[in-house]
Chain A
Amino acid sequence: MTYVPKRLVREESIENCLNELQRRANFHNVPELVYALSYARECMRAILRNAEHSELADLFEAAYGEDIRQFVPNCIEERVREYLREAGDIGIDEHDEQLRSYVEYFCILGLVFRVHALPRTEQKREQSITEKKATIAKELRSNGTDEE
């Protein structure tokens, strides 16, 4: 089976998401975070919708070893714990809504980065297979010539 992720996950949409999420990542206060996160969630919903109707989920799992649907929730739990461990006892816990929203934004950005990299990974894989085939063919030819 040939994987063609960009057939269903339109590459231009992922490109837009990536550019916009990077552009909006420099927020300084709660209203800016809320505004940026609403866009990020739209991107995530679009990706997960596409994953339901395409081979994106399989591709994602093959490339990163993770379930695309669980990527963001797992990432949030992990990074919230990491943040609080490094910050020390700052009077907030892992349920803090602001912290979770902040982390969620960057987890979605991470998801978009990975999905964006997928077609290229696939292209690279195919390119690498083609190159390997060419090398083997060349070696076989040269061996054949030597034998002669």
Chain B
Amino acid sequence: MSDVVRVRMTRLDRAYEECRAAISEALAEPEPGDVKHVPIGLLEPKKFMEDVILPLTQGCLVELLPPPNVLMFEYRRRLLRGLQYEGIPITRLGPSIVDSLMSAVIACLESHLLSNKELTSSHAIREREREYRRAVSSCVLPVIKIMYDLASEYGYAQAQGEMRVGP
């Protein structure tokens, strides 16, 4: 019997996995000798948001947007409800879904990171790392997952091939 398992991958599966991987990589400790990757603990909260997590988030949201053949009123209703259910601070969606979600993510990150005075100390490297990861788990990952789940439900995750898992 073969040890190889074939898993059906869709464009959205791939986009979602790539987003998750990029975010994990940004939050991870740099490999020894990797001088390009600045440890997140060395970044001020504002710098971490603007230079690291927000550009990544924006790219992910754009990838996960639905195509024009989706019934948008229904998609928007379910998206807003899903975000609110997950505790994301959002009360409305504007004409641009990405802009609305980015505003909500920024508000969420700011409430976690900018109000915490301890994180501005240059010695608080470990605290910053911990709080940055926590903030991303609360403010970014749920938003991306809700968009991915909705995309799967609406059936616009076209198959793009298969991935071989195993030796």
Interface residues of A (CB under 8 A from B): 28-31, 33, 83, 87-92, 96, 98-99, 102
Contact = CB atoms under 8 A, between A and B. Distances in A.
Interface string B48-92: 000000000000000000001111111011001000000000011
Nearest to A33: B71
Nearest to A80: B73
B73 A87 contact: yes
Contacts of A96: 72-73
A90 B155 contact: no
Interface range on chain B (Cβ under 8 Å from partner): 20 to 34
A90 B68 contact: no
Interface of B: 68-74, 76-77, 80, 91-95, 97, 100, 154-156
Contact of B69 (A30, A88, A92): A30
Given A90-B92, A90-B93, A91-B92, A28 B73 contact: no
A92 B155 contact: no
A92 B73 contact: yes
Contacts of A99: 73
30 contacts: A28-B154, A29-B69, A29-B70, A29-B154, A29-B155, A30-B68, A30-B69, A30-B70, A30-B71, A33-B71, A83-B73, A87-B73, A87-B77, A88-B77, A88-B91, A89-B91, A89-B92, A89-B93, A90-B76, A90-B93, A91-B76, A91-B92, A91-B93, A91-B95, A92-B73, A92-B76, A98-B71, A99-B73, A102-B71, A102-B73
B100 to A, nearest CB: 7
Contacts of B76: 87, 90-92
